[in-house]
Amino acid sequence: MPVATLLPLTDVTACCAPITREPLGAHDAETLAKTLKALADPARLRLVSMVAAHDGQEACVCDLIEPLGLSQPTVSHHLKVLVDAGILSRDKRGVWAYYAIIPGALDALAAALTTP
């Protein structure tokens, strides 16, 4: 597998200055919108929240299906969206993949939305 596919498709940690500080350029607006769109779903917000609250701040799909009440394929799809957006990391160990929050990703979003 080429290394590039292991990197998030968008890197919000390299973007953006607070949006209320100066007019946001078209490119930064695209990057920020993509990351926000990945988060802008109730199931995905709950997944991020459950991963963060889990022991060791990482969780496998097996830990997330029951509390969320969705099927494994649906949960796996949502997790993939969050990985592609650079919000979660994915580490395959044995039969399961373990997900953790990428340090700085949510804080970068928060910083972009914070007003002066």
56 contacts a second copy (rule: CB under 8 A) = no
110 contacts a second copy (rule: CB under 8 A) = yes
Spatial contact of 52 and 101, defined as CB atoms under 8 Å apart: yes
100 contacts a second copy (rule: CB under 8 A) = no
Q: State phi, psi for 16 to the nearest 5 degrees.
A: -150, 160
**Is omega for the bond preceding 16 within 30 degrees of 0, making it cis?**
yes
Q: Which residues bind a second copy (CB under 8 A)?
A: 19-24, 26, 29-30, 32-33, 36-37, 39-46, 48-50, 52-53, 67, 101, 106-107, 109-111, 113-115
